[in-house]
Chains A and B, each alone.
Chain A
Amino acid sequence: MIDKRVANADEAVAGLEDGMTVLFGGFGLSGIPENAIAAVRKRGTRNLTCVSNNAGVDGFGLGLLLETRQVRKMISSYVGENAEFERQMLSGELEVELIPQGTLAERCRAAGAGIPAFYTPAGYGTEVAEGKEVRVFNGKPHLLEHAFDASFAFVKAWKADPAGNLVFRGTARNFNPLMAMAGKITVAEVEEIVPLGTLDPNNIHVPGIFVHRLFQGEHYEKRIENRTVRPRP
């Protein structure tokens, strides 16, 4: 067993430098690496290019790194619900690249699968296609999209064993397995590190080979962005 555990979040973000490209797992506020975000904020690293499906909300998630102006560029598919983000984007302080969600996911997966680029129909004929190679397959135009090249990936899982094998829960899985595959250094934080041998090898979502640093997170807030319920009858 190769033990992937590090002592804490601060140790997990060691080596993160100004100007790096970083992947952050999560969809909305679900499955975001809360502890790693806090550690990056504490470390004060600047001019980051952050790849994340969303940009958090004011005061939580990646909103915390926008607040401290640590982000130079954001690559996302959907960025509503964040006033500070909008302000920085409109004033030109923050560069924003919006890309289709499936393309974002596949650019992560490709990076972790040794595929440098791929064709997808998403975005053909739109602003997203500007400057991209178009090729027709089976009569349908596709865009050439490239795998991400990211120094770090920060992901959040439900459980892990010390070998870094990850298990996710519900829809908190989202981009996390793909970003875990894509990082040159992948940092996984989990709600619980369980003893070696207690995770069923049949049910591992991300094998530990993709995880370089692992720690058990603290004080998960797991905020709900859009609480929707049925009233009890």
Chain B
Amino acid sequence: MALDKNGIAQRIAQELRNGWYVNLGIGIPTLVANYIPQGISVEFQSENGILGMGPFPWEGEEDPDLINAGKQTITALPGAAFFDSALSFGMIRAQKVQLTVLGAMEVSDNGDIANWKIPGKMVKGMGGAMDLVASAENIIVAMQHTNPKGESKLLSACTLPITGVGCVKKVVTELAVLDIDPERGFVLLERAPGVSVEEIVAKTAGRLVVNGEIPEMRL
């Protein structure tokens, strides 16, 4: 069965390693914080200016001076630090953040990502996404495998204006975990429990490498 949003987040959380600083984008990526594996200690960076971001506040304890990049009210954990936006993007460009998790509208099989604009329909802007994808070494995309029309979002080339070039390393969808090898395309690593390789092949428009038996995700 295909994963729900929480399942995607839970699978991505398995990629976390001890001691990493992690930037989570808006949407499904935010949920990753709910599934940090036992024994793993990470610190969350939000690009509007905090390291050591904690969970959402208890009702009645919201603070307008304490928000994340999605403008949600948050808390600061003991050991947290606040800083300005230039310092924040300084640490991003200088690759002090080990993992970036982002949503996307399209990903291409050479690692291009599109997630900021649909010409004529939606222009919200790139926010910090272009800075993140241009510099981050380790970018995982969390998204649905297909768009609401049922069309694949894993393409040979993005049709929407791109956010960054050749930057995505891994994609986790409700159906599959795939690495991106710029030479060979999407490399199928795991499938969601009960999802067939055939379904993943049918819903992936870009080049797809399927090598041998593909294991099910363990959640």
Contacts and interface: CB of A to CB of B under 8 A. Distances in A.
Contact of A226 (B60, B67, B128): B67
Interface of B is mostly: loop
21 contacts: A27-B71, A77-B126, A89-B123, A98-B123, A98-B125, A100-B129, A102-B89, A102-B128, A105-B84, A105-B86, A106-B89, A108-B86, A120-B131, A122-B93, A125-B112, A126-B130, A172-B64, A172-B65, A174-B49, A175-B85, A227-B73
Interface in A89-142: 89, 96, 98, 100-106, 108-109, 120-128
A103 B92 CA distance: 12
B161 interface: yes
Contacts of A175: 84-85
Interface of B: 46-50, 55-68, 70-74, 76, 82-86, 88-89, 92-93, 112, 116-117, 123-131, 134-135, 161-165
A79 interface: yes
Q: Top 5 closest A-B pairs, CB basis?
A: A102-B89, A102-B131, A125-B165, A170-B65, A105-B85
A31 interface: yes
B138 to A, nearest CB: 16
Contacts of A231: 59
Interface of A: 27-31, 53, 76-80, 89, 96, 98, 100-106, 108-109, 120-128, 158, 168-178, 205, 222-232
A226 B126 contact: no
Contacts of B89: 101-102, 105-106
A174 B130 contact: no
Contacts of B134: 100, 120-124
